[in-house]
Amino acid sequence: MKYLKFILFGLVATSISAQAAGAASLVGKKSKTKDYNYSWDTREYFVEDCSQNANKWICKCVLEKLQHEYSEAEFLYINKDLYNNIDHPEFVDFVSTAVDLCDSEYTNSRRNDSYGTGDGLAGLLGGGGGGIATKAKGSIRTPSERDIDISDGAEIRSAADIMKVVRQRTPGLRHVYNKFLKKKPGFQGKVSLKFTIASGGEIISISVANSTTGYSAFDDEVKADVSRWKFNKVKSGNTTVTIPFTFSE
């Protein structure tokens, strides 16, 4: 038994020194278990970035769920794409579900309906907001491509290109709605925003084209949040669009 231990130790040492990458790759291909362990730097980066706009507890909870499904390399690759407005709908759906689960876990752990989080996805995907908000109860319907009215510059940006950003960023407006639901429970409606996107991707002008909410302060905050969205760069020219956002409990 003693010699067997030495043999095993020798085999392990040899594999580590000579073929570590190959062995690691083999394990990765063979194993069906998806639990991963991100590096300290990646974990710290995620929590710090996320907690600028969301509850830190929720950020850590979502990170744990990400490590059950995505490898560190996959996460870093997708995260870079999201910052460059490259769509990953399956990942966004996964994070959205993870946020809802973590919201519920947080609320249950506090055993108090007056606390919760409604802005988790906003923080994770750059929607803005921050802190601990009311328990998420409002919803927002993500506009479809046919909802986008391009009044100028359609030859520069297509509705499909614009939708990539709209689809990613619209869920982040939920935290705005939940915040104002605290002040005026039960209100709902549609806010249509008209804005112009410059060639660099930034929004250079924005206004409320129409609203049925009857709540101008809410409309203005939605406008302010959307004004910070960033679109893909193009060679030249501006594009003006009108997009409706529908909010309901």
The per-residue pLDDT for range 155-174, each reduced to its tens digit, is: 999 998 999 899 888 888 88
Give the percent of the chain with pLDDT over 70: 73
The per-residue pLDDT for range 110-162, each reduced to its tens digit, is: 654 433 333 334 444 444 433 333 344 688 888 988 999 999 988 999 998 99
Whether residue 97 contacts residue 62, with contact meaning beta carbons closer than 8 Å, is answered with no
Residue 3 lies in a domain: no
Q: 67: which residues sit within 8 A by CB, 6+ positions away?
A: 35, 36, 37, 38
Whole-model pTM over 0.85: no
Distance CA 59, CA 48 (A): 9
Domain residues for 142?
137-249
Residue 99 lies in a domain: yes
Looking at the fold, whether 164 and 108 belong to one and the same domain comes out as: no
Residue 143 lies in a domain: yes
Looking at the fold, whether 215 and 232 belong to one and the same domain comes out as: yes
CATH number of the domain residue 153 falls in: 3.30.1150
Please report which confidence band the pLDDT of residue 28 belongs to, taking 50, 70 and 90 as the band edges: low
Helix (H, G, I), strand (E, B) or coil at 150: strand
Helix (H, G, I), strand (E, B) or coil at 206: strand
Q: How many structural domains are present in the chain?
A: 2
Structure token pair of residue 194: 């008209």
Looking at the fold, whether 174 and 117 belong to one and the same domain comes out as: no
Structure token pair of residue 50: 């996320």
